[in-house]
Amino acid sequence: MKKRMLEVNDLTVRAPGPTGGKILVDGIDLVIRQGGLFTLIGETGSGKSIVAQALTGTLPEELSPSGRVCFDGVDILRLSAHERRSLWGRKLFLLPQEPERALDPTMKVAAQVEEIFKVLRYSSRRKAREETRRLFARLGLSASNEGRRYPCQLSGGMNQRVLFAMALASPANFIVADEPTKGLDPLLKRRVTDLLGELNRLGKTVFCITHDLLVARRLGGNLAVMFRTRIVEKGPAEIVLERPSHPYTQGLFQALPENGLHPIPARMLQEMQGV
């Protein structure tokens, strides 16, 4: 069995407040093995993005985490800001919700990918340019066309692919993708989902957050369902998605348009909090 790349024990995150603050994430336990693919689905506002921030050491200062987030044997929650920063790009790579926010608006996109080769892989300028051209071609972009443009001159889908090129260029083996398909049309959604699968096949460990059940199904791997700050169900994706055991997961399927567009009644949501 492959070694544990990430182990999360009893992760709890509180907002600031007079009596210890509201609990945003409540006692999460997760294990992700090297080369694995893990998807976190669940309720809007249940704390999925806060889990991603805790895993990547990017939690806002005002939030108070407790528990353990062991990445490659090191507890991220105990690291200083400087130590956490040294992991970014080298060991951890975050694909954020809005790709434009992760790209430098004043720099052409190919140059941003080349910079990763130069700074993080110590490549020569020529090698960095060649590798970038190769990566762009693989992702359906042209380094001499799209590559010479600024992020604001590219569509959201193209910027998304530039970020994937950066993820592939970086030596980081653990990729966290936070809602990577949000707002994309079905074709781009499928393409981005397949790109995540490809990152995984190339040996990267992938942790993906989504509220899209079709994306979760296509990705496969392991899956956890989050509801009201807690993980309520987890297991292999095909089993959880085919035979969901928690009423919240069952309710998500009932809410899909093809199943009648039935929202989970508020009364049931209240009752489920105690399940």
Return d(Cα 17, Cα 80) in angstroms, integer: 23
Binding mask 49-88 for other proteins (x = CB under 8 A): ----------------------------------------
179 φ, ψ to 5°? 50, 60
CB of 5: closest distance to other proteins in angstroms? Answer: 27
Kindly tell me which of 18 and 73 has the beta carbon lying closer to other proteins. 18
Helix (H, G, I), strand (E, B) or coil at 13: strand
Pick one of 118, 188, 220, 246: the residue that binds other proteins (CB under 8 A): 188
Closest alpha carbon to 224 in 245, 204, 202 = 245
55 φ, ψ to 5°? -65, -30
213 lies in the site for other proteins, by CB under 8 A: yes
E strand or H helix that includes residue 217: helix 213-219
Pick one of 20, 253, 270, 273: the residue that binds other proteins (CB under 8 A): 253
134 lies in the site for other proteins, by CB under 8 A: no
101 lies in the site for other proteins, by CB under 8 A: no
Return d(Cα 112, Cα 114) in angstroms, integer: 5
Residues in the interface with other proteins (CB under 8 A) total 34
E strand or H helix that includes residue 51: helix 48-56
45 lies in the site for other proteins, by CB under 8 A: yes
Pick one of 83, 263, 270, 271: the residue that binds other proteins (CB under 8 A): 263
In the beta sheet, which residues pair with residue 69?
A: 8
Pick one of 149, 217, 230, 246: the residue that binds other proteins (CB under 8 A): 149
Pick one of 78, 183, 236, 270: the residue that binds other proteins (CB under 8 A): 183
Kindly tell me which of 78 and 262 has the beta carbon lying closer to other proteins. 262
186 φ, ψ to 5°? -55, -40
Phi-psi label, residue 42: left if phi above 0, alpha if psi -120 to 50, beta otherwise: left
- What does 137-168 look like in DSSP terms, one character per residue? HHTT--TTTGGGS-GGGS-HHHHHHHHHHHHH
CB of 50: closest distance to other proteins in angstroms? Answer: 13
CB of 183: closest distance to other proteins in angstroms? Answer: 5
Kindly tell me which of 118 and 149 has the beta carbon lying closer to other proteins. 149
Binding stretches for other proteins (CB under 8 A): 41-45, 149, 153-157, 179, 182-189, 211, 213, 251-253, 255-258, 260-264
